[in-house]
């Protein structure tokens, strides 16, 4: 009886050792997408007033965790019974990511009027109700983008353990998802609160030449630069992730650019950018026609 119990413990220990090893491998394979996930979500988590940064970030984090809880069982089922559906969902998600990145570039170079402001920095110009609605809109957008990136993270992690038993797959991919959620949003929280930490260091410093004062002022001055940089990095990340999905999941595109003598990152960016602007043209054309039809009905 005792020997059987200890044998069971030994089997569990061996299984967990294997799970830890494969989790490390899966995490390494998803490192690129995790970096993109960080850049994209950090950019989306900024733009809020200081007192609302952590509550909003917590709401996005909970949404991200819920995304992964929904994706995991569906991914395991599709992997077993309909692998083509995983590829289809990846491609559709990539089109959205490419569109969002292309739209940001278009809005930067082409002056236009925003129908509704997405940020809430100017709290003096917003009522409480308007601020709440603006927050909900940006949270919803961040969670939706996180959903698409989470699908990619889950699929890549799952791909490293497809030949393993289902329990092994569940353990490994779940660990990767926990690391993705806690790690990414933990770093985002540090970024958005960087200026507050800087103010505390300045107050802690006894004089203007102290090390804490110097570091505090550096953090305060660096935050706007970091946020602006994240906006650019996040846009590039969207396009790179999309391009990578197209190249690795569509044989036609893969073979089309295979002989082009360029670094893979440039190929991914070019493919993502092209698809993004095609999607942008289609969607803007559809909106224009819809607006025109509505105008004709009113007349």
Q: What is the pLDDT of residues 67-96, one digit of tens each?
A: 888 888 888 888 778 777 777 877 887 888
Q: Is the dihedral of CA 200, 204, 208, 210 positive or negative?
A: negative
For the chain, helix (H) and strand (E) counts, in that order, are 10, 0
Helix axis angle, 166-192 to 31-44, nearest 10°:
40
> What letter would DSSP give residue 144?
H
Contact 42, 229 (CB under 8 A): no
Segment 2-19 mean pLDDT: 47
Q: Is the dihedral of CA 62, 67, 68, 72 positive or negative?
A: positive
Please tell me whether the overall predicted TM-score, pTM, comes out greater than 0.75 for this model: no
Separation CA 243–CA 273 (nearest Å): 8
Lowest mean pLDDT: which of 7-11, 30-34, 111-115, 165-169? Answer: 7-11
pLDDT in tens, 181-209: 888 888 888 887 787 788 888 887 767 77
For residue 8, give both structure tokens: 């069971």
Could you give the C-alpha distances from 207 to 48, 158, 212, 260, in angstroms and in order?
A: 31, 54, 9, 58
Q: Is the pLDDT of residue 3 over 70?
A: no
């Amino acid at each position: 009886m005792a020997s059987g119990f200890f044998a069971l413990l030994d089997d569990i220990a061996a299984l967990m050792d294997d799970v830890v090893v494969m989790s490390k491998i899966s995490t390494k394979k998803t490192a690129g997408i995790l970096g993109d996930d960080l850049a994209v979500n950090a950019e989306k988590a900024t733009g809020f007033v200081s007192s609302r940064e952590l509550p909003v970030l917590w709401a996005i984090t909970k949404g991200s965790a819920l995304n992964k809880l929904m994706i995991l069982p569906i991914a395991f089922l599709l992997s077993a019974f309909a692998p083509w559906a995983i590829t289809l969902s990846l491609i559709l998600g990539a089109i959205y990511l490419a569109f969002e990145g292309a739209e940001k570039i278009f809005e930067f170079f082409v002056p236009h009027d925003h129908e509704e402001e997405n940020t809430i920095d100017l709290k003096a110009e917003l009522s409480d109700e308007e601020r709440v609605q603006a927050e909900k809109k940006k949270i919803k957008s961040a969670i939706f983008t996180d959903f698409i990136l989470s699908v990619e993270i889950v699929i890549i992690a799952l791909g490293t353990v497809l030949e393993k038993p289902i329990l092994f797959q569940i353990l490994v991919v779940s660990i990767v998802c926990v690391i993705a959620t806690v790690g990414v949003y933990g770093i985002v929280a540090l970024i958005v609160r960087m200026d507050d930490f800087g103010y505390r260091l300045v107050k802690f410093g006894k004089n203007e030449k102290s090390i804490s004062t110097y570091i505090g002022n550096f953090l305060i001055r660096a935050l706007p630069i970091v946020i602006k940089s994240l906006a650019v990095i996040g846009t590039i990340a969207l396009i790179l992730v999309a391009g990578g999905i197209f190249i690795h999941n569509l044989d036609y595109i893969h073979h089309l650019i295979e002989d082009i003598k360029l670094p893979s990152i440039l190929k991914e960016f070019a493919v993502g950018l092209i698809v993004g602007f095609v999607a942008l043209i289609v969607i803007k054309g559809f909106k224009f026609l819809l607006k025109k039809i509505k105008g004709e009905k009113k007349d």
